[in-house]
Chain A
Amino acid sequence: MTFRSLTLTTVTAAFLALSAAATAQAADADKVKLGFAKCAHCLPMALTPELAKGVEIEAINFNSGNDVLTALVSKSIDMAQVTYLHYITALDKGFDVVAVSGQVNGGSEIVVGKGITLKADDWDGLKKLIAERKEKGEPLRVAASRGNAQDIHMRGALQKHGINVNKDVQFINIPNPSDHAAALQRGEVDVICTVEPFASQIRQTGVGTHFALPYDQAAGNLTNLIVTRSDVIKEHPKAVEATVGSVVALVDKLKSDQTVWVDVINKYTGMDKAVAAEALKNASPDYAIHKDSTLAIATMMRELKYISNDVTAAAEKNLDYTFLEAVTKKPKSELGF
């Protein structure tokens, strides 16, 4: 065999091996790989393995919700904690995702920089400031991480108060929420809608002050969702139910005892416990899946051109309350349907 043909053979073999690896299935009968992201609300998912009954959960921490969702749709993991926005985006792209439980909502906060003297919830004051800046030709700079739950919460809240993010202010996309504090500190943005625990950190370090919790809009305070694929449900329904059971147990635990939550944030992020405890004041553990707000998010995302299709029908169809009903013994009318 010549060196040239050996090289070609090696390239072919490597490609085939990669293809085979990509299609490998992750699910085992009694094992579930559960992915979760790195935010204050997401991290307690690390506690699900110890709360699991009848299933062995491997909780895997990812850097972002996008990474978790990509791992789910490419079948590297079986279940995932993502946001409602990820769920809608995935449906828009035709991915097979099924929502089986809520997890934690809230976590969004609008903060203003030091130079902005606005009282909390003074929306009229904000509108006046926006108009003044617009008149001067120096539009108010409003930041968020485009495509995150906080982005949608903020846009919805501003719109509800008659502020058009695309026309009245200058929107600045800061993709990584951990960069929000620095941007605010340097005065490069005036207002930020950020996520916990960064919001608490911003307030506690004096970089910015609280303006509003942006939940007074159609999407409400929806943040996190547990999703899986229909093939996992079909092949391992008991494992999915048991995993939902551990999420429900987790939610109940978080409602009654926040010390474990603070500890897990501290463990995974190294963040000060005081900041973690503050962050949890803006968190609502909730295993319900809120149908109406989910559909409102789908509509808002289409209006914002974040997605290209009307996925409201698919979004409703792919909400599967079966497991929540079995675990909680409640009808779906009490679980957000």
Chain B
Amino acid sequence: MTALSKSWERAVVPLFILAAWEVFSRSGFLPAALLPAPSVVLHTWGDWMFGFDETSQGNTGRWFADALSSATRVAAGYGIAVVSGVLLGIAIGWWRWVERTVEPTIQMLRPVPPVSWIPLAIIWFGIANKPAIFLVFLGAFFPILMNTIHGVKTADRNLIRAASMMGATEQQLLRHVVFPAALPSIFAGLRIGIGAAWMLTVTAEMVAVKSGLGYVLWDSYYFLRYDLVLAAMASIGLLGYATDALIKVLMSAALHWQHGSTLQSREG
């Protein structure tokens, strides 16, 4: 199958949805302002980015600053989640005593929805960036942690035995055997985590920040600017897709030893 036909296949569903949405919005079933057509959203989005006719009012020409604000919060929260999630996940997966002492608390905290942490986040960190970063961290931390634990626990015992027999120390075992063996699971966690981190930007930016895609989304909703709400949603989806693609590239480079032996390699 050629690259062109593959691209076309990927575009079929989005194009169909956009076309149907455009027709539905212009049909008059609902007020046009309630469900703006994709063309209207695109126009507003363009003004938000490049500021050509102030359609997006106070947000005109501010998209890159807003995207950067959100991306910074996501990068900070996600970065902390990656470091702490992977390290703690390895510790829980490898040392039984860590599992016994830490995991019950982690498992109890895991089902608590991140949004419910908002009051505590404000009490602990105040308003503006810090609570927002904390909420993003919460969203990304648990998927990364759980997948890392899974990756460590499912590492091939024979590999560990073989390395031990060859005199590897515990540190060497963790670094050269267990960690690489857990990498496919860790990357699965990283991919789920980045999605959760972007999802949480909308919640996180409810808490008295002054910029960001989530902030614009909420602020626009207060003034019934559904075109901007949709543009903000699309922006978050696009940036989420881009960062996920970046992690896939990293994954492909890091897991080069899997090439040719998995379904993913068959997909190319």
Genuine A/B complex: yes
Which A residues contact B (CB, under 8 angstroms)?
8, 11-12, 15, 19, 22-23, 66, 69-70, 73-74, 89-90, 92-96, 143, 146-148, 172-176, 178-179, 182-183, 186, 188-189, 305-308
A-B contact pairs, 27 of them (CB 8 A): A15-B17, A15-B20, A19-B20, A66-B221, A70-B34, A73-B34, A89-B224, A92-B224, A93-B224, A94-B31, A96-B31, A147-B222, A173-B208, A174-B208, A175-B206, A175-B208, A179-B127, A179-B208, A182-B119, A182-B122, A182-B126, A183-B122, A183-B127, A183-B208, A186-B123, A186-B126, A305-B57
Contacts of B127 in A (CB 8 A): 172, 174, 179, 182-183, 186, 188-189
How far apart sit A11 and B13, CA to CA, in the bound complex (Å)? 8
Instruction: Establish whether residues A175 and B29, one from each chain, have CB atoms under 8 Å apart when the complex forms.
Output: no
B245 to chain A, nearest CB (A): 23
Asked if B207 is at the interface of the complex by the 8 Å CB criterion, the answer is yes
CB contact under 8 A between A183 and B218, given known A89-B223, A96-B31, A307-B223: no
| Tally of contacts, chain A with chain B, CB under 8 A | 95
How far apart sit A51 and B16, CA to CA, in the bound complex (Å)? 49
Instruction: Establish whether residues A173 and B224, one from each chain, have CB atoms under 8 Å apart when the complex forms.
Output: no
Asked if B160 is at the interface of the complex by the 8 Å CB criterion, the answer is no
B107 to chain A, nearest CB (A): 28
> Which of B24, B31, B207, B222 is most buried by chain A, counting CB atoms within 10 A of its CB?
B222
Instruction: Establish whether residues A175 and B222, one from each chain, have CB atoms under 8 Å apart when the complex forms.
Output: yes
Residue of A nearest to B123 (CB): A182
Residue of A nearest to B227 (CB): A93
With contacts A93-B224, A183-B127 known, what are 15 further pairs, Cβ within 8 A?
A12-B16, A66-B222, A70-B224, A89-B224, A94-B32, A143-B208, A147-B223, A173-B210, A174-B207, A174-B208, A175-B206, A175-B218, A182-B127, A306-B223, A307-B223
How far apart sit A179 and B123, CA to CA, in the bound complex (Å)? 9
A91 to chain B, nearest CB (A): 10
Asked if B254 is at the interface of the complex by the 8 Å CB criterion, the answer is no
Residue of B nearest to A147 (CB): B222
Which B residues contact A (CB, under 8 angstroms)?
12-13, 16-17, 20, 24, 29-35, 57-58, 118-119, 122-123, 126-128, 206-208, 210, 218-219, 221-225
How far apart sit A296 and B78, CA to CA, in the bound complex (Å)? 46
> Which of B126, B127, B207, B218 is most buried by chain A, counting CB atoms within 10 A of its CB?
B127
B22 to chain A, nearest CB (A): 13
> Which of B33, B127, B221, B224 is most buried by chain A, counting CB atoms within 10 A of its CB?
B224
How far apart sit A160 and B222, CA to CA, in the bound complex (Å)? 25
Instruction: Establish whether residues B122 and A95, one from each chain, have CB atoms under 8 Å apart when the complex forms.
Output: no
Give me the 5 closest cross-chain CB pairs, A-B, nearest first: A147-B222, A93-B33, A182-B122, A174-B208, A93-B224
Contacts of B12 in A (CB 8 A): 8
Contacts of B206 in A (CB 8 A): 175-176
How far apart sit A174 and B219, CA to CA, in the bound complex (Å)? 11
A39 to chain B, nearest CB (A): 15
Please tell me which one of the listed residues A66, A70, A179 contacts residue B207 in the complex, with CB atoms under 8 A apart: A179
How far apart sit A89 and B223, CA to CA, in the bound complex (Å)? 6
Residue of B nearest to A4 (CB): B9
> Which of B123, B208, B219 is most buried by chain A, counting CB atoms within 10 A of its CB?
B208
How far apart sit A307 and B57, CA to CA, in the bound complex (Å)? 9
How far apart sit A188 and B13, CA to CA, in the bound complex (Å)? 47
How far apart sit A93 and B40, CA to CA, in the bound complex (Å)? 14
Instruction: Establish whether residues B122 and A90, one from each chain, have CB atoms under 8 Å apart when the complex forms.
Output: no
A302 to chain B, nearest CB (A): 12
How far apart sit A132 and B115, CA to CA, in the bound complex (Å)? 39
Contacts of B221 in A (CB 8 A): 66
Instruction: Establish whether residues A305 and B222, one from each chain, have CB atoms under 8 Å apart when the complex forms.
Output: no
How far apart sit A148 and B219, CA to CA, in the bound complex (Å)? 11
Contacts of B29 in A (CB 8 A): 19, 22-23
CB contact under 8 A between A19 and B31, given known A183-B122, A188-B126: no
How far apart sit A90 and B225, CA to CA, in the bound complex (Å)? 10
How far apart sit A179 and B126, CA to CA, in the bound complex (Å)? 10
How far apart sit A292 and B63, CA to CA, in the bound complex (Å)? 38
How far apart sit A122 and B126, CA to CA, in the bound complex (Å)? 29
How far apart sit A182 and B207, CA to CA, in the bound complex (Å)? 11
